[in-house]
Structure 1
Amino acid sequence: MEKSLKTYQFKSGETIASIGASGGVWEIYFASQVDNLTFYLQDIDADLCNEQEINEGILFYEKMMKKPINGKFISVIGTEHSSLLPKNTFDKVLIINSFHEFLFPHEMIKDGYEILKSEGLLFIEEQLATYSGEIHEGCLKPLFLESALIELVEKCGFVLNETVDKGNNVKIFCFRKR
């Protein structure tokens, strides 16, 4: 998580969307490290992304860190085609280990483009395939080859800004609007 935190370079006061966030475990941790962040935690599964799950995560990190978390967390249930998040709102959009699970990745990246502010950044943190057709061990969905992931996102109006290698075939891609 530390390498991710360093890469995302959160600043106090930012508004961040996390698509495919479940209960926001990563995002709550980030808010424990940087004050005054607002996270919109978006998912399509209301059993995973809800106020109770988020509150349990907050309590866990407050206990572990021995300090209150002053971030704000808003859960949003979207669809397979749309995040249902407000347009032109976010400083950063995060997709952490969920891009390979999207049934309509092209539509979701276009959605990400629309919800970002003009100078906003899209971060995709993803395990990559080492060969075509490789399957993710956890969810049994196909992983993206690095070149295919970049090509898809760039076709949606983004430009690759930076790539950070986390090891174990996991990379963080930072894109900006063209």
Structure 2
Amino acid sequence: MEKSFKTYDFKSNETIASIGASGGVWEIYFASQVDGLTFYLQDIDEKLCNDEEIKEGILFYEKFLNKSIQGKFIPVIGSETQINLPESTFDKVLIINSFHEFLFPKEILDDCKSILKKGGMLFIEEQLAQYEGEIHEGCLKPLYLENELIAFVENCGFVLQRIVDKGNAVKIFCFI
């Protein structure tokens, strides 16, 4: 999580969208490290992405870290084709270990383009396939090869800035 935190380079008062965030476990941790962050936690599953789940996550981290978390967390339910977030609002969009699960990735990336502020960044943190057709152990969906993921996102209008290797076939792709 530390390598992700350093890569995302959060600044106080930023507004961040996290797509496929469930209850925001990673985002709550990030907010424990930088005050004044606002996270829109977006998911398609109301059972995982709701105020109750977020409150449980906040309580866990406050107890674990022995400190108050000053971030703001807004759950948003989307659909398979729309993320339902406001346009030109976000400094950063995070997709953490979710991209391979999208049934309509082009539509989601089109939405991501529209919600980013000018100069905003898209971060896709993803486990990558080591061979063609490799399946993710958790969700049993196919993983992307690195060159496939980059080509797909670039074809949707984003420009790759850098790649951070986290090890264990997980990389963070930073796009503008």
User: Shared fold (TM-score greater than 0.5)?
Assistant: yes
1:152: which partner in 2?
A: 152
SS at match of 1:11: coil
Q: How does 1:89-128 map to 2 (within 5 A)?
A: 89-128=89-128
Question: d(CA) in 2 for partners of 1:43 and 1:143?
Answer: 19
2:170: which partner in 1?
A: 170
Question: d(CA) in 2 for partners of 1:106 and 1:169?
Answer: 23
Displacement after TM superposition at 1:108 (Å):
0.6
- Per-residue CA distance 1:60-113 (angstroms, 9 max, x = gap): 000011110000000000000010000110000000000000000111111111
The percent identity for this pair of structures is: 74
2:78 maps to 1:78: yes
Supply the AA of the counterpart residue of 1:77: I
SS at match of 1:18: strand
Question: d(CA) in 2 for partners of 1:82 and 1:163?
Answer: 26
2:41 maps to 1:46: no
Question: d(CA) in 2 for partners of 1:115 and 1:82?
Answer: 11
Supply the AA of the counterpart residue of 2:72: K
2:3 maps to 1:3: yes
Question: d(CA) in 2 for partners of 1:120 and 1:105?
Answer: 19
Supply the AA of the counterpart residue of 1:134: E
Supply the AA of the counterpart residue of 2:85: L
Supply the AA of the counterpart residue of 2:102: F
Displacement after TM superposition at 1:39 (Å):
0.0
Question: d(CA) in 1 for partners of 2:9 and 2:90?
Answer: 14
Supply the AA of the counterpart residue of 2:77: I
Question: d(CA) in 2 for partners of 1:44 and 1:163?
Answer: 27
- Per-residue CA distance 1:15-40 (angstroms, 9 max, x = gap): 00000000000000000001100000
Displacement after TM superposition at 1:156 (Å):
1.1
Supply the AA of the counterpart residue of 1:26: W
Supply the AA of the counterpart residue of 1:45: D
Displacement after TM superposition at 1:118 (Å):
1.0
2:15: which partner in 1?
A: 15
2:134: which partner in 1?
A: 134
Supply the AA of the counterpart residue of 2:106: H
SS at match of 2:159: strand
Question: d(CA) in 2 for partners of 1:106 and 1:146?
Answer: 17
Question: d(CA) in 2 for partners of 1:83 and 1:106?
Answer: 12
Segments of 4+ moved more than 4 angstroms: none
How many residues are matched? 176
SS at match of 1:94: strand
Where in structure 1 are there 5+ consecutive unaligned residues? none
Considering only aligned residues, what root-mean-square deviation do their CA atoms show, in Å? 0.4
